[in-house]
Amino acid sequence: MAIAIDSANAHLSSPGLPLALSASSILRGIDAVALNCLPLVWQQIAAREVTTGHDDPDFLIALARLFFTKGTDGSSEIFQQESQKASSFQAFYAKGVFETLDFFGNDFLTTAYPNFERSHQTAKAQDGAEALSE
């Protein structure tokens, strides 16, 4: 089954089965971590103290909360063994989850690019593939 992802509009679609994703639908049924558990940059994005290049910052925040939750709660989707060794790995993995979110949170900021508008226009997806122009 082929699935197309339209990140600009936060929709998934496959033949005969359109799915709309929203910030609330991503976290439905998940006991997600509180915003204050995320790196500071995500708290700033949520408070609209900084600007991202995404039309829906709440969608990004929901993804960050889901990623952090799944990476730190011992989720069976990630951690398949319950042992002391797995517990040590989980603590190590949780540190990496935090650092990854910090990196990508800062990377979403428009201030991360000397000329964000030019970068945005030259990297805009065309025909489903990222295209860079001079």
- CA 5/CA 128 separation, integer angstroms: 9
Q: One-letter amino acid identity for 52?
A: T
DSSP letters along 69-110, please? HHHHTT-TTT----SHHHHHHHHHHHHHHHHHHHHHHHHHBG
- CA 9/CA 21 separation, integer angstroms: 9
pTM over the 0.85 mark = no
Q: Print pLDDT tens along the chain (134 aa).
A: 344 444 444 444 445 544 567 777 888 888 899 999 999 999 999 999 998 888 889 999 999 999 898 888 766 555 555 555 556 666 777 788 899 999 999 988 888 777 767 766 776 655 545 554 44
Domain residues of the chain, as ranges? 23-127
Residues in the chain: 134
- CA 51/CA 26 separation, integer angstroms: 22
